Amino acid sequence: MTTKKNDTPPVLDIDTSISVLGPAKIPSKLPFCRPREDGETIRLNVTEDQSSLLEGESMYSDFHVAGPRKNLYFDPSKTKCAIVTCGGLCPGINDVIRAIVMEAHHNYQVSATLGIRFGLEGFIPSYGHDVKELTPDTVSSCHQFGGTILGSSRGPQSAEEIVDALERMNISVLFMIGGDGTMHAAQIIVAEIAKRKVKIAVVGIPKTIDNDISFITKSFGFDTAVEKATEAIMCAHTEATCAVNGIGMVKLMGRESGFIAAQATLALKEVNFVLVPETPFELKGENGLLNMLHKRLASRNHAVIVVAEGAGQHLLSITGEKDASGNPVLGDICGILTKEIKGHFKEQGVPVTLKFIDPSYIIRSVPPNANDRVYCGFLGQHAVHAAMAGKTGMVITNLQDRYVHLPLSLVTQERRKLNTDSDYWRSVLESTGQNLSLGKFGTQADPCSSK
């Protein structure tokens, strides 16, 4: 199709502007530098990932390009930074910490970088957590290990007390590594800083193993999580094929979004049914999971089911309880599936062997793979570039292979979810042979015919 010269792509009406603490007047001495113009933007198509904001047509938005700037807001020799890690573990946290420290120390030569221990609790005097000074020596090998060398915690803390602590420690820049809840907390901290009219930059590095932060195409650690998930799926497939009517069931992380389950399914073509939170399903009836599973076993004598932890919650009673991060406590969908599957086949007089694997806490605790290490390095470096230029109330991300700045207001507006109308989800369904359109297992494709 030929595009006319006067055709312009439709632009999504969202605010992508980035707040600054003031004019950057200090010439940067950064070596090996090709600085970005301060107002440089790039226009990217956001249709596929952000379907909930759109109405079917391809739409674009302009984003500020990440990278070093010609002039700095902060004088490096008088700048003290702090890093805090919050929420659950994820592969790559230590790599981001290391990248921030190395960039700040070697290239900007900031006066000091402090590590806040055990999440936002580390700012609150009543918890009594020590502050850890971070130097190239203290972080030199931390990337070889999973978890976070600073420790972490969940739950909100007083923004007033946090900013009090920042002022007491004479912190100019705060780097916050965390998920959706942490980014909401960062917004509140930025508002408290603005209220006091103090000059402290807050820069976020989004961390979520579920890959569910809005406008974040892929969070760090996701590649590693998928890689480890495929190992569990392969084990489940081996168990299933080594028994008559063997069923392998794997539970993966994905509270509200099924990205890990979907990506692992595409990576390993051994999955016959994938259940995600975005698509309700039936257990019983002609189009129910039990009937489709029965057909699969009758045809091929084995089956593999991948279940995101937040799938099938409509089949469970809602307790209304919330965890420390304010998320609803999920029901045990795999427990229900195990009970219903065993009951169904017992009633039909068909012997089955069901093996259940839950690798969740193994996946989130391992060191990152090579791709995630590279990604984490860029995120840490770009976070320092943005902060030293006086940017605040923003996060760093890779959006369609370009590193950009996103305002906190954009990434906190909703949870990112699988677009079940996308080509990506269609590929998942084609890989498994199932059809989850309209919330049902249908008959367009046949899981009995694959693998």
What's the start-to-end Cα distance of the chain, in Å? 38
Torsion angle, CA of 206/207/208/212, rounded to 10 degrees?
Answer: 10
From the list 250, 257, 258, the residue with the least C-alpha distance to 232 is: 250
Contact present, 270 and 304 (Cβ < 8 Å): yes
Which residue matches tokens 């062997």? Answer: 353
Count of H helices and E strands in the chain?
12, 17
The yes-or-no answer on residue 358 being catalytic is: no
Extract the tokens encoding 349: 């007089």
Distance CA 198, CA 353 (A): 63
Which of 49, 210, 212, 223 is flagged as catalytic? 210
How far apart are the C-alpha atoms of 325 and 261, rounded to whole Å? 23
Residues whose CB falls within 8 Å of the CB of residue 242, separated by 6 or more in sequence, listed in order: none
By residue count, the chain amounts to: 451
Q: Is 318 helix (H, G, I), strand (E, B) or coil?
A: coil
Q: How far apart are CA 66 and CA 293, in angstroms?
A: 48
CA separation (Å) from 270 to 11, 13, 88, 92, 300? 40, 42, 29, 28, 12
Residues 257 and 439: their CA atoms lie apart, in Å, by 15
C-alpha to C-alpha distance for 78 and 112, rounded to whole angstroms:
9
Residues labelled catalytic: 210
